[in-house]
Structure 1
Amino acid sequence: MNKSKPRVAIVLLSYNSLKLVREFLPKIIATTNHVEGVEIVVVDNASTDDLSPWMAENHPDIRVIKLEVNKGFTNGYCASLPQIEAENYVLISSDIEVTEGWLEPGLELLESDPKIAAVQPKVMSFDKREYFEYAGAAGGYIDHLGFPFCRGRLVNEVEKDESQYDDVREIFWASGACLFINADAYHKSGGLDNDFFAHMEEIDLAWRLKLMGYKIMFQPKSKIFHMGGFVIQYGSPGKVFRNHRNNLIMLTKNLPAYQLFYKIPFRLLLDYAAMIKMILDGNPKSSGAILKAHWQYTMMLGKWLKKRKIVNSLKSKTPNHFGICPKSLVYQFFIKKVRKFPDLHWDPVEKR
């Protein structure tokens, strides 16, 4: 470990969430003050709720990076992380409640193998404490068409935590709500894609890291609670727009060339099917968000293809494809009515 750098910088990103910072920051401090080499940094993403003055008065020893303009969740980190020197980062949202002993297991796993670029803790629901939370649950995977899912969450069905996923294991992607990540790997990969603004940016980053040959891991001994949907509500038109647009961008950047030409058109067709379902369900605003996502994706296709060239330049000779499910999540969930991860009858760890 570089003696001149902190072992880890816990980077808390906040936008108009002073109420949450007041509640949750003391817990971060209390659960990490005994760990050597920890720095806490609060990023004020152009908040209008007096976060920075409150920090100066109540936590003058904690560094605050104030951004003058809010350009999205991704930019909060893209603008702040180059200013923070540390061996590792923990990127943590303001709507996260940590638990006693949450930091050490994730950090130790991250440092145990130079091939491990990132680690995800167990992500639990803040409101329904015995259930996993949508954004990450017990570690993320992706199907061959680019639909993400988790152990503990398929589509919108979330499981109760009964210790069924309490094993340390490799996953495909780790939740951005609380992400342990090696600083060098983060910066070598190019970091979060600022064009994503919010949603799926962590999956895109994980995919890029895996193409570089790294591993992403899940550590159940590190446990946090996530409120979820604090800034943009789940199922809102804004979230639907960014999920559909960003998924197409992610596929364009990371898919093998021979798959790109047939999977993108097929995904567009599936999106239209989802749009029809939204209309039938009485949600026309969200269906319109899909059309907007397709339009913006198509109008800026040249930009996404340039990003693809950058990803190709980073690829290892031995890329890591672990965690891509050959089955269709849409078919399994909507046709076969599969609701739990074990019922997919696909486990990449067992197939090794």
Structure 2
Amino acid sequence: MTDKLKVSFISINYNSSNYTIELIKSIEKFTTVAYEIIVVDNASKENDYNSLYDYVNNDSKIQLIKNTSNEGFASGNMLGTKYASGEYFFFINNDTRLLNDASSVMLEYLNIHENISLATAKVNDENGNFSSSYKLFPSITKELFGNSIARKFSKHNFPSNKIKLDKPTLVEVVSGSCMFFRASDFTNIGGFNKDFFLYCEEEDLSKRVWNYGKEVIFLPDAEIFHHSGGSSIKSFEMEREYYISYNILINQHFNKLNVIILKLLLLFKLFRRSFKRKNGWKLFLFGLKGCPKKLSLRFN
């Protein structure tokens, strides 16, 4: 390439090559800056991997990395960064697609604002409505009193994810489906924590950006579409995986007393839901056992 490489798109494929191909098409359609695409295949079935290989073969802008085992979202993305050369890393779910030149919008903003390390785009759902692009980090106040009260106690008075924002706005946690990082800052904070197999990676990364002294922002002029649950299947095992990750998250970011309180609040929530939801009792019993990591999908 004659132009200096600006953006490395990094995405994970796992038995969903049809989504990955649509994402690649959208990147090729809209992106105007110098870019590369790195797809890490997390040990998909042979026919799925071959479909993706046949599509990307001989495209100099695309690197397809084949993992011998499914190491999860965090580890897969970290593998992708080893092959990335861009000034910015655009971690994007394979079940999304660009709706405009989102990478240019976010790149131009971060170029001007050196205090920003991490950005996310406006995420749209199947009906063209704004979906969730940002949220709050877990806290005792949030668990006890809800998001509205928790926001009032926040230093930055972070916005509700239910309102329509039309200008760049600081947020506490970005959507894991769309994370645009200054590569140097990503490296300086240590990248993805491989302890997470699935879920809570965005909370952990966003929190570490704030702890690093930099900021996280939502940029509504950058837009993507996200299939709801396109790359994963909802099941008891997937719900269980979330609570394993949640426990890892709070253990790493809270002191012992707060961890105990948050775990008790989680048990109370699971107990209340046990009467109403499918697999409710199973999840409550799982919580009583402490959400052991040995039952993670990582080991199955």
Coarse TM-score class (shorter-chain normalised): 0.7 to 0.9
Cα deviation, residue 280, structure 1: 0.7
Partner residue of 1:184?
184
Structure 1 residues 56 and 227: alpha-carbon distance in aligned structure 2, compared to 1, 3 A threshold: closer
Name which of structure 1's ranges 113-122 and 15-24 shifts more when overlaid on structure 2: 15-24
Q: Do the aligned residues in 2 keep the contact of 1:122 with 1:218 (CA within 8 Å)?
A: yes
Counterpart CA distance in 2 for 1:265 and 1:220 is 37
Counterpart CA distance in 1 for 2:113 and 2:292 is 40
Cα deviation, residue 254, structure 1: 1.8
Cα deviation code 1:287-313 (max 9, x no counterpart): 42354356455689xxxxxxxxxxxxx
Cα deviation, residue 276, structure 1: 1.9
1:46 and 2:21 aligned: no
After superposition, residues 1-352 of structure 1 pair within 5 angstroms as 6-32=5-31, 34-35=32-33, 37-48=34-45, 49=48, 50-57=50-57, 59=59, 61-125=61-125, 127-130=126-129, 132-133=130-131, 137-145=132-140, 153=161, 159=162, 164-233=164-233, 236-255=235-254, 260-283=255-278, 285-292=279-286, 295=289
SS of residue in 2 equivalent to 1:142: coil
Counterpart CA distance in 1 for 2:288 and 2:55 is 41
Partner residue of 2:151?
none
Cα deviation, residue 124, structure 1: 1.4
Q: Do the aligned residues in 1 keep the contact of 2:159 with 2:171 (CA within 8 Å)?
A: no
Q: Do the aligned residues in 2 keep the contact of 1:240 with 1:290 (CA within 8 Å)?
A: no
Structure 1 residues 67 and 207: alpha-carbon distance in aligned structure 2, compared to 1, 3 A threshold: same
Structure 1 residues 29 and 95: alpha-carbon distance in aligned structure 2, compared to 1, 3 A threshold: same
The amino acid of 2:276's aligned partner reads D
Counterpart CA distance in 1 for 2:4 and 2:280 is 46
SS of residue in 1 equivalent to 2:23: helix
Gaps of 5+ in 1: 154-158, 301-352
Q: Do the aligned residues in 2 keep the contact of 1:167 with 1:220 (CA within 8 Å)?
A: yes
Q: Do the aligned residues in 2 keep the contact of 1:44 with 1:52 (CA within 8 Å)?
A: no
Cα deviation code 1:237-267 (max 9, x no counterpart): 2332232222222222123xxxx23322222
Q: Do the aligned residues in 2 keep the contact of 1:110 with 1:180 (CA within 8 Å)?
A: no
Counterpart CA distance in 1 for 2:256 and 2:89 is 36
Partner residue of 2:153?
none
Task: Report sequence identity in percent.
Answer: 23
Alignment RMSD, CA only? 2.7
The amino acid of 2:35's aligned partner reads V
Cα deviation, residue 278, structure 1: 2.6
Partner residue of 1:327?
none
Residue-pair matches, total? 277
Cα deviation code 1:96-124 (max 9, x no counterpart): 02112322111112222222110010111
Cα deviation code 1:42-89 (max 9, x no counterpart): 222222212443234474652212212111111111222122122110
Structure 1 residues 55 and 246: alpha-carbon distance in aligned structure 2, compared to 1, 3 A threshold: same
The amino acid of 2:136's aligned partner reads Y
The amino acid of 2:201's aligned partner reads E
Counterpart CA distance in 2 for 1:59 and 1:226 is 25
Q: Which stretches of structure 1, 4 residues or longer, exceed 6 Å deviation after superposition?
A: none
Counterpart CA distance in 2 for 1:191 and 1:47 is 24
TM-score by length of 1: 0.71
Structure 1 residues 189 and 294: alpha-carbon distance in aligned structure 2, compared to 1, 3 A threshold: farther
Counterpart CA distance in 2 for 1:70 and 1:263 is 33
Structure 1 residues 105 and 166: alpha-carbon distance in aligned structure 2, compared to 1, 3 A threshold: same
TM-score by length of 2: 0.82
Gaps of 5+ in 2: 148-157, 295-300
Counterpart CA distance in 2 for 1:76 and 1:209 is 20
